[in-house]
């Protein structure tokens, strides 16, 4: 009897989110969930829908643990966003989320939005009202007066006010708490090297989030700010540009994740002179070598690394997120490790226990690519090598998705 509710993916290679790519396996999906993973011969006689992955690799959908859906990757994205009405910001954020999904990213973490407008996009995608990636969102970033992110963040000074700001994010519905530990590239008049919040302020904000079961992320570029965040119990360090051996040692001891966002500086430096403010380019040039070195240090030390891009910052386009795999590989990360950082590791950071791996009981969130990305990371990093994106068992991009009418890449750009 023909099985109308199941799909069998077979013929090619399988990367399940671990440390190797294997041949000769089939993946049976039923009602949007992986029902069985076994040698292909065990599915002889299957009469349901079959998806041929020959000469390609099926892998978990990718994750981006650091995006900004309310920013559009213009040369000066903050100024561009400020010119929009709230409804326009929301619609553009939805389009960016769907473009990101079409680029192979089946889950993302928004690390700083605008007036909580991105929450409507998150809720629509997570509920299935709109097709999109799984989204976790921090809401407003919490920053000091004059600090990085103060343009659209929640400004809070002193322990009591930081705690209040955290509570406001939780009340609004934030999934995680984002606290700014240092200066940054995109804010004029601040230095990435400088610590902003004191150790006591950082620790209080992180602890208040943890008290209400929220993980935390910290924009942390300078050494002292990184240490303030790590010693306060932060879940992930974003960027980590001026890490040193002390940072590495303490992050390893705490199990802290690094989300390096190599794409952020690379896209600024590759597009200098194209409408990016001069102060942004100057800072990017000054810190670039330290940024590369920090990733290499933590990788060599065996630290927890998850994939993130900072998509939405200058020329860091939503939908091109998978290029972060290639950028990490360019800095010495082995392809198989880059794949793990972009799938299983990122799922663990985001607390998505049913995603990031191809195994029984996991969501059928897949990316099918040409060739073997363990040999050539560009098979996974470049959209032209993506055959199929599947979200919850539904084809959403690629040839099969086009035939089913689900391809978001055909949507008109806003």
Q: Across the 414 residues of the chain, what is the mean pLDDT of every consecutive 10-residue run?
A: 76 97 97 96 92 97 98 96 97 98 98 97 97 98 95 96 98 98 95 96 98 98 98 98 98 98 97 94 96 97 98 98 98 98 98 98 98 98 97 86 49 36
Q: What domains sit in the chain, N to C, each tagged with a CATH number?
A: 6-60+355-410 (2.30.40.10), 62-350 (3.20.20.140)
Residue 409: its pLDDT value, please? 45
Distance CA(288)–CA(87), nearest Å, equals 36
Instruction: For residue 293, give every residue at least 6 positions away whose Cβ sits within 8 Å of its Cβ, in sequence order, or none.
Output: none
Rounded CA Rg of the chain: 21
CB within 8 Å of 153: residues ≥ 6 apart: 112, 140, 141, 142, 143, 147, 180
Rounded CA-CA distance 36/197 in Å is 49
Angle at 342 between CA 338 and CA 344, to 5 degrees: 105
**CB-based contact 284:291 (threshold 8 Å):** no
> In angstroms, rounded to a whole number, what is the distance separating the alpha carbons of residues 142 and 157?
10
Closest CA to 238 of 285, 190, 179: 179
CA 412 to each of CA 51, 106, 203, 313: distance values in angstroms, whole numbers, following the listed order? 29, 21, 45, 21
Within 10 angstroms of residue 33's Cβ, the number of other Cβ atoms is 15
How many other C-beta atoms are found inside a 10 Å radius of the C-beta of residue 245? 9
Instruction: Give the closest residue to 257 by CA, choosing from 196, 183, 344.
Output: 344
Q: What pLDDT does 4 receive? A: 54
- The pLDDT value recorded for residue 403 is 45
Spatial strand order in the sheet of 62-67: 62-67, 105-110, 134-137
Distance (Å) of CA 366 to CA 9, 61, 327, 395: 10, 4, 22, 9
pLDDT of residue 399: 61
User: What values do phi and psi take at 106, rounded to 5?
Assistant: -95, -5
Q: Which of 181, 173, 167 is nearest to 139 (CA)?
A: 173
CB 50 within 8 A of CB 14: no
What local confidence, expressed as pLDDT, does residue 402 receive?
55
C-beta pairs of 44-48 under 8 Å, 24+ apart in sequence = 46/3, 46/6, 46/8, 47/1, 47/2, 47/3, 48/2, 48/3, 48/4, 48/5, 48/6, 48/7, 48/8
Instruction: Return all residues near 253 (Cβ < 8 A) that are at least 6 apart.
Output: none
pLDDT given at position 413: 36
Dihedral over alpha carbons 322, 328, 329, 330 (to 10 degrees): 110
The partner residues of 394 in beta bridges, in order of sequence, read: 391
């Amino acid at each position: 009897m023909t099985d109308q509710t199941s799909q069998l993916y077979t013929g090619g290679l399988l990367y399940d989110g671990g440390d190797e790519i294997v041949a000769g396996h089939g993946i049976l999906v039923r009602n949007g969930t992986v029902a069985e993973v076994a040698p292909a011969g065990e599915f002889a006689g299957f009469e349901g829908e079959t998806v041929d992955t020959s000469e390609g690799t099926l892998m978990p959908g990718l994750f981006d643990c650091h995006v900004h859906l309310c920013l559009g990757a213009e040369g000066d994205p903050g100024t561009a966003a400020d010119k929009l009405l709230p409804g326009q910001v929301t619609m553009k954020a939805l389009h960016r989320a769907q473009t990101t999904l079409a680029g192979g990213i089946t889950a993302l973490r928004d690390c700083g939005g605008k007036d909580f407008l991105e929450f409507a996009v998150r809720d629509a995608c997570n509920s299935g009202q709109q097709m999109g990636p799984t989204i976790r969102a921090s809401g407003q970033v919490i920053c000091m007066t004059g600090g990085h992110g103060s343009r659209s963040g929640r400004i809070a000074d002193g322990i009591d006010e930081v705690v209040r700001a955290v509570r406001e994010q939780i009340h609004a519905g934030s999934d995680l708490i984002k606290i700014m530990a240092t200066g940054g590239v995109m804010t004029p008049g601040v230095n990435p090297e400088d610590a902003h919040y004191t150790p006591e302020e950082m620790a209080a904000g992180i602890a208040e989030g943890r008290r209400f079961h929220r993980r935390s992320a910290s924009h942390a570029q300078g050494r002292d700010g990184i240490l303030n965040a790590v010693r306060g119990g932060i879940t992930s360090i974003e960027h980590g540009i001026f890490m040193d051996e002390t940072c590495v040692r303490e992050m390893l001891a705490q199990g802290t994740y690094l989300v390096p966002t190599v794409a952020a500086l690379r896209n600024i430096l590759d597009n200098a002179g194209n409408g990016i403010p001069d102060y942004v380019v100057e800072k990017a040039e000054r810190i670039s070598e330290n940024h590369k070195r920090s990733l290499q240090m933590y990788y060599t030390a065996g630290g927890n690394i998850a994939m993130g891009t900072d998509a939405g910052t200058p020329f860091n386009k939503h939908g091109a997120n998978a290029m972060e795999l290639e950028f990490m590989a360019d800095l010495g990360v082995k392809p198989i490790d880059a794949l793990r950082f972009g799938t299983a590791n990122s799922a663990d950071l985001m607390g998505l226990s049913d995603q990031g791996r191809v195994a029984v009981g996991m969501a059928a969130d897949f990316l099918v690519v040409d060739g073997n990305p363990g040999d050539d990371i560009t098979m996974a990093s470049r959209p032209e090598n993506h055959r199929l994106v599947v979200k919850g068992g539904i084809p959403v991009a690629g040839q099969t998705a086009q035939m089913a009418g689900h391809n978001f890449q055909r949507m008109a750009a806003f």
